[in-house]
Amino acid sequence: MNQKKAPWQFLLLLILAGESVFILPFVLARVFRPTVLEAFSLDNIQLGYCFSIYGIVAVFSYLFGGPLADKYPPRKLIAIALWMTALGGLVYATFPSYTVLKVLYGYWGFTTIFLFWAPMIKATRVWGGSSSQGKAFGFLDGGRGLVGALFGAMGVFIFALFATTEVAEMTTTQSQAAFRQVILTSTAIVALVGFLVWFFMMLDDDTEKEIILDKITVSQIKAVLKLPSVWLLMIIILCAYVGYKLTDVFSLYAKEVMNYDQVESAQVGTFLLFIRPVVGVLIGFVADRTQTTFWLMVSFIISVFGALLFAFGFVTDSTTLLFFLSTLIVATGVYAARALYFAVMERGQIPLVLTGTAVGLISLIGYTPDIFAGPAMGYLLENSKGQIGHQHVFWMLAIFSFIGGLAAWYYHKLYKIIGSE
């Protein structure tokens, strides 16, 4: 990589955009899961199906949107994606029927991925250069975590501000009225970030020309598919992303097992979000000074350990300290893996100019948990009520983390010599 290093404002706007685009479809549901279920008259399985529809559309968007990132400047694609996503927020705020909600999640599967995902990953590689990939992706995911946490904290504040009675005594109508203000505020911010990206997330002309291809050929796609790193990353990201999707359960665990109210359970979800920036930044610095592939493997081991604490039923309503400690362990492993899995692309000899194409192919398999993780989690929770259902969810996390750890170990074994040269 010989291009001039992009400025810090470029990365800051990338971080802001990188989480803002997912606030409406995912972050609000993660922080306010009990409220979302009540306000939209859903059960866990129905909400899981909404995520599944998002995932089906997203899979095709990854595939066809990837090469697009190799042909157009990231700034324009990302800004348009943010504006289109914000439009969906206006529909979300009307608390539409279940049918319309499913269509909305399919729409978001297109707006947040087709024009957005591969440009974001490629832009991060550009900022990181050849020597700071761990730091670049650590800052990206950690920064996104901080933005998500701030959105979550803001949402909890706005919800409590517009609550017209005690939270524990709120009717569905009152919950909807308060949550509508959270949605509308989030929508306005997402649209504003789009304008900031369009006007201020600039690259110099030489760099922009260097990272863009006039045409993507079949031979280039075949060359990408021949790389072992691409196939291993499909497995690694799939397993890591299952872990990330299953962190949605913590606010519900707080309500159903720890017996917290809606605001307290939302605060648990927000606490989880604040762990992410700390883990992302720290693991990014550590990985660049040693080996990113090694720390990717370690992150999966941590995830397995934390998941087993929940899976064996050690965490109950009488073990508050253990609940927060176990949550911290799981979050550390999950967020570390998430921060590093694209950071190892440089080590895996994936060409920068074909990053979009590679990301599209990898994501075709790697992000299939968008299709199955939500319904699977919903099924496990609805068919075994209370703590037992949650234990089953964490067994799912432990199994996928173990498989991801094996794939990460092989990636490390295959490419560690390259990193030491």
pLDDT digit string, tens, across residues 14-48:
999 998 999 999 888 877 888 889 889 888 889 88
Q: How far is CA 349 from the centre of its chain?
A: 24
pTM of the model: 0.77
Query: What's the mean pLDDT in 216-225?
Result: 74
Longest C-alpha distance within the chain, in Å?
63
Q: How many domains does the chain have?
A: 1
For residue 93, the model assigns a pLDDT of 94
Res 216 pLDDT > 70: no
398 assigned to some structural domain: yes
For residue 91, the model assigns a pLDDT of 96
Res 2 pLDDT > 70: no
292 assigned to some structural domain: yes
Res 164 pLDDT > 90: no
The domain that contains 403 carries what CATH number?
A: 1.20.1250.20
Query: What's the mean pLDDT in 182-189?
Result: 94
Confidence class of residue 419 from pLDDT cuts 50, 70 and 90? very low
Distance CA 191, CA 281 (A): 27
State the Rg of the chain over Cα. Answer: 20
Confidence class of residue 401 from pLDDT cuts 50, 70 and 90? very high
For residue 329, the model assigns a pLDDT of 94
Give residue 323's domain range.
8-420
Contacts for 288 with CB less than 8 Å, ≥ 6 apart: 131, 132, 133, 134, 135
184 assigned to some structural domain: yes
Query: What's the mean pLDDT in 75-82?
Result: 92
Tokens at residue 310, please?
Answer: 């929940």
Query: What's the mean pLDDT in 319-327?
Result: 89
Query: What's the mean pLDDT in 356-379?
Result: 85
For residue 421, the model assigns a pLDDT of 37
114 assigned to some structural domain: yes
For residue 342, the model assigns a pLDDT of 85
Q: Is the model more confident about 268 or about 104? A: 104
Mean pLDDT of the chain: 85
Res 80 pLDDT > 90: yes
Query: What's the mean pLDDT in 50-61?
Result: 88
54 assigned to some structural domain: yes
Identify whether the C-beta of residue 388 lies closer than 8 Å to the C-beta of residue 216.
no
Determine which helix (DSSP H) or strand (DSSP E) holds 324, and give its type and residue range. Answer: helix 320-340
Res 336 pLDDT > 60: yes
Distance CA 179, CA 163 (A): 9
Query: What's the mean pLDDT in 257-279?
Result: 81
For residue 110, the model assigns a pLDDT of 94
Contacts for 173 with CB less than 8 Å, ≥ 6 apart: none
2 assigned to some structural domain: no
Query: What's the mean pLDDT in 229-252?
Result: 91
Query: What's the mean pLDDT in 184-210?
Result: 83
Identify whether the C-beta of residue 254 lies closer than 8 Å to the C-beta of residue 26.
no
Distance CA 220, CA 269 (A): 42
Tokens at residue 348, please?
Answer: 């895996």
Distance CA 363, CA 371 (A): 12
Q: Is the model more confident about 264 or about 57? A: 57
Res 77 pLDDT > 50: yes
For residue 243, the model assigns a pLDDT of 93
Alpha carbon distances (Å) from 197 to 205, 209, 277:
17, 19, 21
Distance CA 41, CA 294 (A): 45
Query: What's the mean pLDDT in 392-413?
Result: 95
Query: What's the mean pLDDT in 141-157?
Result: 84
1 assigned to some structural domain: no
For residue 211, the model assigns a pLDDT of 57
b/e string for 136-165 if b means 16 or more Cβ within 10 A? bbbbbbbbbbbbbbebbbebbebbeeebee
Res 375 pLDDT > 50: yes
Q: Is the model more confident about 254 or about 107? A: 107
Identify whether the C-beta of residue 154 lies closer than 8 Å to the C-beta of residue 183.
no
Q: Is the model more confident about 183 or about 45? A: 183
For residue 116, give the nearest of 79, 67, 143, 141 by alpha carbon.
79
For residue 420, the model assigns a pLDDT of 41
66 assigned to some structural domain: yes
**DSSP letters for 254-289:** HHHTS---HHHHHHHHHHHHHHHHHHHHHHHHHHHH
Q: Lowest mean pLDDT of 37-51, 83-97, 138-152, 160-174, name the range.
A: 160-174
For residue 25, the model assigns a pLDDT of 92
For residue 155, the model assigns a pLDDT of 87
